[in-house]
Structure 1
Amino acid sequence: MARKVWVTGAGSGLGLALVQQLLAQGWKVAASGRASTELQGLSQLNPQQLLLLDGNLTDAAQAAQASQRLQAQWGALDCLLVNAGTCDYLDASIPPTAIFEAIASSNLSASVHCLHNALPLLENGQSPQIMAVLSRYSALQLYEPSQPATPDNSLAEVFRSECQHLASKGIDLTLVAPQALKVPLVATQVMPQEWTAESAADVLLQRLPERAPELLLEALNLNSLWPLPEQPSSSV
């Protein structure tokens, strides 16, 4: 029986590449993200395998509606892939000076809503697991960086704080993030690499069965994995 996965932030970049490769591997895939011609094309090619979930996961009600549709269609999830560096939830009109904070805050709220709503589905799944992938921008601590990191101001802490609760329900969690500046995961410095969306997705899916608690991902060009929204052209 095909395994079932929910991929968030699937409209472009890394999220879209994950959807493409999971479909090629035979997974049943539910995809949330900004509407795109690529996702629509994949849906037409794979109508029995790909389920497109409309809605903005930063909105609690829309996130609940997405999970309700999953419950009705599948009744369970084996894997939740949270692309928590996505710019899918940003308005294209957002001023450039506010983009990085908006990436962090939108991914934090979307991740909280997604985790809450996916939990009952994962509990019904086979060997359930979660992989959350953060970018350098979404991993930024909100509000006052000098304060301790908590689930209210740090996306990484949202996931770390859930580890014990998830483990008690038999759900494994893998957090994929850049090197933390305050508390490095490894002693040696990890140099950023020239990842493409496809190469990063390939490696992440290779590592998925390992269920490692934490993995490092340092990308040299973040826009190749998490494309920024196109700014509207100004009239002259």
Structure 2
Amino acid sequence: MSARCVWITGASSGIGLALAERMMRDGWTVAGSARSAEAMAELEKRHPEKFFAYPLDVTDEAAAKETVARIREERGRLDLAVLAAGTHLPVEIEELETKPFRTLLEVNLMGVVNCLAAVVPGFISARKGHIAVVSSVAGYGGLPTAAAYGGTKAALNNMTAALKFDLDRYGVKTQLVCPGFVRTPLTDRNPFPMPFLMEPEDAAEAFYKGLQSDRFEITFPRRFAIILKLLNALPYSLYFGLVKRGTGK
């Protein structure tokens, strides 16, 4: 009960899983959530007394609140919430429809909001806690086929920065995590070259190091994030040409 406890959503694969395994090696208790109860049960079996399964669909607001209440009751404490659940659907202009936008808004944006609404009151009451919202460098500016995905990540970037002002007053540490390309089941679907592609274990190491820092934004690989930030500081007349050249779109 005395071990530090982290709640990680999207813990069944990709960055969420790699971070969970990294933190368990450092003595953390992980309360892991994902939609697949089977995947959660397998992880709990693989990491007895370290990983505890809390299956959850983050689009269910009531279920998110129930999950956080259970974690606090059963684990005895909650020190950090890493909100990493998310998905990606490409938008091709020739097949433009509303469904990908609605789906990604519900999962990537409202899924995080549901989890924040569940976890923030307890942190405010205790006047301590730590929240890390996982976004993406795709939220820095428009990228080809990422109209829905990038839009949700841009919203997360803005929302997390806005919330930091308020959470600071209550001693709650707030961080924004903007990964570049990390080898995951989602990025495996990408039909284009991915510069500075990272392995999940390397990404988890950078992620965990960032959580221990005082930086608001955690990025990896940092070179890719810097390049995209510089691109987005350019006039649009230059930005569009350089992105087209780099992506072939």
TM-score by length of 1: 0.69
1:196 maps onto 2:199 in alignment:
yes
Higher helix share: 2
Aligned pair in 2 of structure 1 residues 140, 105: CA closer, same or farther (>3 Å)? farther
- Contact 2:80–2:131 under 8 Å retained in 1: yes
Cα distance in structure 2, aligned partners of 1:137 and 1:52: 30
Aligned pair in 2 of structure 1 residues 197, 156: CA closer, same or farther (>3 Å)? same
- Contact 2:58–2:114 under 8 Å retained in 1: yes
Counterpart of 1:87 in structure 2 is: 87
1:216 maps onto 2:214 in alignment:
no
In the TM superposition, residue 102 of structure 1 has moved relative to its aligned partner by 2.9
Structure 1, unmatched stretches of 5+, are 89-94, 180-190, 221-236
CA RMSD of aligned residues (A): 3.6
In the TM superposition, residue 55 of structure 1 has moved relative to its aligned partner by 2.1
Instruction: Report how many residues are paired.
Output: 196
Cα distance in structure 1, aligned partners of 2:104 and 2:155: 12
SS of match in other structure, 1:154: helix
Moved over 4 A (4+): 95-101, 123-127, 136-141
In the TM superposition, residue 37 of structure 1 has moved relative to its aligned partner by 5.6
Structure (1 or 2) with the larger CA radius of gyration: 2
Cα distance in structure 2, aligned partners of 1:79 and 1:3: 8
Cα distance in structure 2, aligned partners of 1:194 and 1:96: 28
- Contact 1:112–1:158 under 8 Å retained in 2: no
Counterpart of 2:11 in structure 1 is: 10
Residue type at the aligned position of 1:23:
M
Structure 2, unmatched stretches of 5+, are 89-94, 181-193, 225-249
SS of match in other structure, 2:3: coil
In the TM superposition, residue 215 of structure 1 has moved relative to its aligned partner by 2.7
1:207 maps onto 2:210 in alignment:
yes
SS of match in other structure, 1:15: helix
Counterpart of 2:109 in structure 1 is: 108
Write the mapping of 1:1-236 to structure 2, written as runs, cut at 5 A: 1-35=2-36, 39-84=40-85, 86-87=86-87, 98-99=99-100, 102-123=103-124, 128-136=129-137, 154-177=155-178, 192-217=195-220
**Per-residue CA shift, 1:135-160, capped at 9, x if unaligned?**
3557788xxx8xxx9x9x81212211
In the TM superposition, residue 177 of structure 1 has moved relative to its aligned partner by 2.0
Task: Tell me which of the two structures has the higher relative contact order, counting C-alpha pairs closer than 8 angstroms and 6 or more residues apart.
Answer: 1
- Contact 1:57–1:110 under 8 Å retained in 2: yes
Moved more, 63-72 or 30-39: 30-39
- Contact 2:7–2:31 under 8 Å retained in 1: yes
Cα distance in structure 1, aligned partners of 2:14 and 2:178: 16
Cα distance in structure 2, aligned partners of 1:134 and 1:121: 23
